[in-house]
Structure 1
Amino acid sequence: MEFEERLFALATKIKNQRAAILTEEATKNAFVMPFISTILGYDVFNPLEVVPEFTADVGVKRGEKIDYAVMRDGEVQMLIECKKSTEALRVEHASQLFRYFAVTNARIAVLTNGEVYQFYTDLDAPNRMDEKPFLVLDMNDIDETLVPELKKLTKESFDLDSVLNAAGELKYIGQIKRAIAKQFKEPDDEWVKFFTSRVYEGSFTQKIREQFKTLVTKATAQYLNDQVNERLKTALGASAPFSLTAEAPQESVSSAPVAEANIAQDSDIVTTPEELEGYQIVKAIACSEVKPQRVTHRDAKSYFAVLMDDNNRKPVARLHFNGGKKYLGTFDPQKNETRHLLDSLEDIYMHAEDIRASVRLYRGEA
């Protein structure tokens, strides 16, 4: 397996086994040790490479242990502290890493719950671990732009200088991306005011703030949709045996016009970026059977529908994303809906055959 294949295979394992992993030890055995072994490439059973329960006395604290120390040429290269996968990582979890970082030769420290890996170094002050990570790898939603940087930390390709040189940029780009993602989901007043001031000349009153908060949310969702559509169109154009526009030039791959129509029909309906991203995944699956312009969507208050030929009688799938949990609805030949719990949007691919079956059912109907 190539590096990327191993990474995504472990991500799939984590999704499949998450419900059964309830303790810290189970997290280490099922998730963290395979990460150290199959992803980073270190032999977890060789104490010359990986030392479990690593001990280094720190000041008045004696006998404290860090979960794993990754060794290289007899020196501690990386420290790894683990928490159970059922807990979200918090800054207080890193207290031992902070202490150990200062008394070892390690330049990389990792805090993980087996699903999220936070990588730290000492950009702000020498031999003092930064308070914020320079790289955050979420195995439930892998950012593929981080894969080359992660590869530099593997035994085979270890390049500490390159990692440290890129760490500053990675740290701030990662924080900016997470801040943008947060604003896309729930814009704060400063974000709303920033865009409102560029299109509206009146006073920024409470009424205007509430009005434009909805508009900014919809605009960012549609912008994200347009970007995803453009990438999808480019990918399909490179591989599909037909043109996206040759036979039906009046139709657009973009779903923004439909979203705008939904907004006009019911101002309470907000099409979210996650719904649009889920739609693009369903559409990409469906396009293995039909031309992309036949796959459309309509948003409603209770669900987001993916349809063939913009026809409610031809449902391909439904996205139920408005509650606390996310579900994908698929249909049998009698159009009975079955809901599937999604841990992440990538889980939609697990139901690709159900989606294709629905498309094939309507394929001959124009």
Structure 2
Amino acid sequence: MDFKDNIKQLADRVVKLRDSILTEEATKNAFIMPFINTLGYDVFNPLEVVPEMTCDIAMKKGEKIDYAIMKDGEPIILIECKHWAQDLNLHDNQLIRYFNVSKAKFGVLTNGVIYRFYTDLIEPNKMDEKPFLEVNITELRDSQIEELKKFHKSYFNVENVLSSASELKYMGELKSIIAKEFSSPSSEFVKYLSKQVYDGVITAKLLDQFTELTKKSISSYINELISDRLKSALKTETVEEAKNEEIDNKALEEDGNKIITTEEEIESYFIVKSILRQAVDVSRVVYRDAQTYFAILLDDNNRKPICRMYFNAISKKYIATFDENKKETKHEITSLNDIYNYSEYLINTISFYDNK
């Protein structure tokens, strides 16, 4: 599996197990050590990962960081861990102290669910108060996975990550400001916009009016933007489906003389129709035969396969079902009666198409 698959697998593990994790130590073992491992580091190799590394702070000796990821004998990433249910806002000062006495360029504060990444963008060798990247592993976006991948052992480069960190930090802060202005426009923001369309003096009464107009304008613009994107996506999908339909039909015409529809295939078609009678008007259920399989479709549309029968093999027969993503799964059957065992699959497939 690649990094994306591994991190998503870990996310599923966190969702499944977190309610049964009762201690900080269990959080480390179940969530954080696997996370470090997903980044390509061997948690059992002290040359790569040092647990409980000593970080002496001024007069306070013997202070320890939970994990230090090492390179060439020096720490490059410090990780401070908390129980998964703890609020990380109560614990960032501890990581700041460790970071400031270490040679590490990056610090991570985590409870195994949320990961906050820090560096020293504002003042050298002094950890920034705000993280440049924060991810909730149970709600990962593809862009965040790409940022996490930069910390993988195979790709890690300090300069590259620092360059990305600066951009992420300021983009994050700008997005936060924009979101705040969009939901509750400040008077300064409203005045700036209103002066673009109104030449007179902006009185208190006018400011209130323009505040409401600004809210409505923002909302309207976002809705139109979403609508346009959806229309564009649907148009693209429709064109693609039409193109694929044309290709499939042409292939069927070319292969038509080589296809023999058997009585067994026709019988399977009638069994499927009888199963689907409770879910759909069976006049919408049709079949198309091909050289390698016998297809049963909804609305005579090759983009809406209900199932396929593979009866051409000498020794084995299969029925293939489809999920909501049109992924095909073959099931071996010993007789046509076994088709009834897949009634739920067939009915669900109809539901996917009609609900869509």
TM-score range, shorter chain: 0.5 to 0.7
**Aligned residue in 1 for 2:103:** 105
**Aligned residue in 2 for 1:49:** 48
**Aligned residue in 2 for 1:332:** none
**Aligned residue in 2 for 1:34:** 34
Q: Deviations over 1:28-59 (max 9, x none)?
A: 23322221111x11112222211222212111
Structure 1 residue 121: Cα displacement: 1.1
Paired AA for residue 34 in structure 1:
P
**Aligned residue in 2 for 1:94:** 92
User: 3-state SS of the aligned residue for 2:115?
Assistant: strand
**Aligned residue in 1 for 2:81:** 82
Given that 2:191 and 2:207 are in contact with CA atoms closer than 8 Å, whether structure 1 keeps it comes out as no
Structure 1 residue 162: Cα displacement: 1.0
Structure 1 residue 159: Cα displacement: 0.9
Structure 1 residue 109: Cα displacement: 0.6
Structure 1 residue 169: Cα displacement: 1.8
Correspondence list, 1:157-168, <5 A:
157-168=155-166
Q: Cα RMSD (Å) of the superposition?
A: 3.3
Structure 1 residue 218: Cα displacement: 4.2
**Aligned residue in 2 for 1:9:** 9
Structure 1 residue 158: Cα displacement: 1.1
Structure 1 residue 184: Cα displacement: 3.6
Indicate which of 151, 154, 168 corresponds to 1:153. 151
User: 3-state SS of the aligned residue for 1:171?
Assistant: helix
**Aligned residue in 1 for 2:273:** none
User: 3-state SS of the aligned residue for 2:66?
Assistant: strand
Given that 1:116 and 1:136 are in contact with CA atoms closer than 8 Å, whether structure 2 keeps it comes out as yes
Instruction: Please give the alpha-carbon distance, in whole angstroms, between the structure 2 residues aligned to 1:102 and 1:234.
Output: 51
Correspondence list, 1:124-143, <5 A:
124-143=122-141
Instruction: Please give the alpha-carbon distance, in whole angstroms, between the structure 2 residues aligned to 1:194 and 1:70.
Output: 48
User: 3-state SS of the aligned residue for 1:77?
Assistant: strand
Q: Deviations over 1:157-179 (max 9, x none)?
A: 11111112232222101211233
Given that 1:22 and 1:86 are in contact with CA atoms closer than 8 Å, whether structure 2 keeps it comes out as no
User: 3-state SS of the aligned residue for 2:91?
Assistant: helix
Q: Deviations over 1:210-243 (max 9, x none)?
A: x555544443344334444444444444444457
Paired AA for residue 4 in structure 2:
E
Correspondence list, 1:203-242, <5 A:
203-205=202-204, 209=208, 212-240=210-238, 241-242=240-241
User: 3-state SS of the aligned residue for 1:117?
Assistant: strand
Given that 1:54 and 1:66 are in contact with CA atoms closer than 8 Å, whether structure 2 keeps it comes out as yes
User: 3-state SS of the aligned residue for 1:67?
Assistant: strand
Structure 1 residue 61: Cα displacement: 0.9
User: 3-state SS of the aligned residue for 2:107?
Assistant: strand
Q: Deviations over 1:36-91 (max 9, x none)?
A: 111x111122222112222121111112111111111211110011222223321x
Structure 1 residue 107: Cα displacement: 0.4
Instruction: Please give the alpha-carbon distance, in whole angstroms, between the structure 2 residues aligned to 1:29 and 1:70.
Output: 16
Q: 1:147 to 1:360 in 2, by over 3 A?
A: closer
TM-score between both structures, scaled by the size of structure 1: 0.59
Q: 1:215 to 1:11 in 2, by over 3 A?
A: farther
Given that 1:28 and 1:114 are in contact with CA atoms closer than 8 Å, whether structure 2 keeps it comes out as yes
Q: 1:186 to 1:362 in 2, by over 3 A?
A: same
Q: 1:9 to 1:357 in 2, by over 3 A?
A: farther
Instruction: Please give the alpha-carbon distance, in whole angstroms, between the structure 2 residues aligned to 1:213 and 1:115.
Output: 38
Paired AA for residue 76 in structure 1:
P
TM-score between both structures, scaled by the size of structure 2: 0.60
Q: 1:168 to 1:360 in 2, by over 3 A?
A: closer
Q: Determine which structure has more spread, i.e. the larger CA radius of gyration.
A: 2
**Aligned residue in 2 for 1:71:** 70
More helix by share: 2
Instruction: Please give the alpha-carbon distance, in whole angstroms, between the structure 2 residues aligned to 1:226 and 1:356.
Output: 32
Given that 1:123 and 1:168 are in contact with CA atoms closer than 8 Å, whether structure 2 keeps it comes out as yes
Q: 1:128 to 1:208 in 2, by over 3 A?
A: closer
Gaps of at least 5 residues in structure 2 are 243-297, 300-345
User: 3-state SS of the aligned residue for 1:46?
Assistant: coil
Number of positions where the alignment pairs a residue of Structure 1 with one of Structure 2: 253
User: 3-state SS of the aligned residue for 2:83?
Assistant: coil
Q: 1:48 to 1:26 in 2, by over 3 A?
A: same
Paired AA for residue 110 in structure 2:
T
Given that 2:53 and 2:64 are in contact with CA atoms closer than 8 Å, whether structure 1 keeps it comes out as yes
Given that 1:193 and 1:204 are in contact with CA atoms closer than 8 Å, whether structure 2 keeps it comes out as no
Paired AA for residue 103 in structure 2:
N
Structure 1 residue 110: Cα displacement: 0.8
Q: 1:362 to 1:10 in 2, by over 3 A?
A: closer
Given that 1:77 and 1:106 are in contact with CA atoms closer than 8 Å, whether structure 2 keeps it comes out as yes
**Aligned residue in 2 for 1:333:** none
**Aligned residue in 2 for 1:116:** 114
User: 3-state SS of the aligned residue for 1:224?
Assistant: helix
Structure 1 residue 142: Cα displacement: 2.7
**Aligned residue in 1 for 2:256:** none
Structure 1 residue 196: Cα displacement: 4.3
Structure 1 stretch displaced more, 183-192 or 73-82:
183-192
Paired AA for residue 113 in structure 2:
E
Instruction: Please give the alpha-carbon distance, in whole angstroms, between the structure 2 residues aligned to 1:78 and 1:134.
Output: 14
